[in-house]
Chains A and B, each alone.
Chain A
Amino acid sequence: MLHGSLIQSGLENVYWGVMIVTYPYISGLVAGSFVVSSLSHVFHQKLFDDLAPLAVLVSFALLLAAPLTVLGDARQPINFWELLTRGHWPYSPIAFFILIWMAYIVLMLFELYFAFRAQNVRHWVQSQGHSRLRRFLTLGSRDASLAGEKRDKRILMILSAMGILMAFLFHGYIGFIFGSTKARPLWATPLMPVLFIVSAMVSGIALMWVVYVLVMRFSHRPVHRALADGLLRYLVLFVLLDLYMDAVDFLTSAIPAYTQGPTSQGFQRILMTGPNSGIYFGLQLGVGLGVPLIGWIIPQIRRSLAGGALMSLAVLIGVFAMRWDVVIAGQEQSKISSNLVTVQIPWTGFDSVQTVIGVFAVAFVVFMVLAWAFPWQSWNQIPAMEHREEREGQILSQSAQGTNSTITTKGGHVLS
Chain B
Amino acid sequence: MARRHILRQMAIAAISFSAAETLLQSAARAKSLTVLAAARRKQWTGENAAVMQYYRTKPKWASWTVPQLNVRDGWSEPSGWMSKIENSRKVPYIHDNFNRLLPVTKLPHHWVMVIDLRRCIGCQACVVSCKSENNVPVGVYRTWVQVVETGAMEPDAQGTVVTDRGTFTPNVKRFSLPRLCNHCDAPPCVEVCPVKATFKREDGLVLIDYPKCLGCGYCINACPYDARFFNPIQQTADKCTFCVQRLDRGLLPACVTSCVGRARIFGDLNDPNSEVSRLIARYPTTHLKTTMGTKPQVFYIDLDGVVAEDGADAFNTLYPYAVGTNTEEYDDLTGKVLLQTPMGKERGTR
Contact = CB atoms under 8 A, between A and B. Distances in A.
B144 interface: yes
A94 B194 contact: yes
A76 B213 contact: yes
Contacts of A336: 146, 179, 225-226, 311-312
Contact of A8 (B22, B188, B232): B232
Contact of A86 (B36, B141, B196, B327): B196
A300 interface: no
A12 interface: yes
Consensus secondary structure, chain A interface: loop
Contacts of A10: 139, 323-327, 330
A334 B316 CA distance: 13
B327 A94 contact: no
Interface in B322-346: 322-332, 345
A94 B216 contact: yes
B221 A183 contact: yes
Contacts of A269: 313
B122 to A, nearest CB: 16
Contacts of B193: 88, 92
B214 A80 contact: yes
Size category of the binding interface on chain A: 35 or more
B65 A181 contact: no
Contacts of B235: 75-76
A74 B215 contact: yes
Contact of B212 (A8, A82, A335): A82
Contacts of A342: 326-328
A360 to B, nearest CB: 9
A362 B226 CA distance: 35
A107 interface: no
Interface string B117-153: 0000000000000000000000111001010100000
Given A11-B324, A336-B146, A338-B315, A77 B214 contact: yes
B194 A97 contact: yes
Interface string A1-23: 00000111111110110000000
A88 B194 contact: yes
Contacts of A374: none
B96 interface: yes
Given A10-B327, A16-B217, A78-B34, A181 B222 contact: yes
B213 A12 contact: no
Interface residues of B, number: 75
Given A184-B221, A338-B316, A9 B324 contact: yes
Contact of A335 (B236, B312, B329): B312
Given A6-B65, A362-B22, A11 B327 contact: yes
Contact of A78 (B15, B30, B95, B188): B30
Contact of A73 (B16, B23, B216, B220): B216
A341 B327 contact: yes
A80 B26 CA distance: 14
A365 B222 contact: no
B223 interface: yes
Interface string A295-329: 00000000000000000000000000000000000
A368 B18 CA distance: 16
B224 to A, nearest CB: 4
A198 interface: no
Interface in A158-185: 177, 180-184
Interface in A78-133: 78-80, 82-83, 86-89, 91-95, 97
B241 interface: no
Contact of B218 (A11, A94, A182): A94
A368 B106 CA distance: 63
Contacts of B175: none
B281 interface: no
A405 interface: no
B140 to A, nearest CB: 6
B301 interface: no
B75 interface: no
A284 interface: no
A364 B19 contact: yes
A261 B310 contact: yes
B62 interface: yes
A11 B312 contact: no
A349 interface: yes
A333 B144 CA distance: 20
Contacts of A182: 188, 222, 224, 292-293
Contacts of A216: none
A157 interface: no
Interface stretch (A235-243, A250-258, A351-359, A392-400): A351-359
B324 A354 contact: no
B224 A335 contact: yes
Given A79-B214, A88-B196, A94-B192, A338 B230 contact: no
Given A8-B232, A92-B191, A341-B324, A262 B217 contact: no
Contacts of B225: 335-336
A38 B327 CA distance: 46
A341 B326 CA distance: 6
B317 interface: yes
Interface of A: 6-13, 15-16, 68, 70-80, 82-83, 86-89, 91-95, 97, 177, 180-184, 261-262, 265, 269, 331, 333-344, 349-350, 354-355, 357-359, 361-362, 364-365
15 contacts: A7-B66, A11-B141, A75-B62, A77-B214, A79-B195, A88-B196, A94-B218, A181-B192, A265-B312, A331-B221, A337-B323, A338-B315, A358-B23, A359-B22, A361-B19
Given A74-B216, A334-B312, A339-B327, 11 more contacts: A10-B139, A15-B221, A71-B26, A77-B29, A79-B215, A181-B218, A335-B226, A338-B148, A341-B327, A361-B16, A362-B19
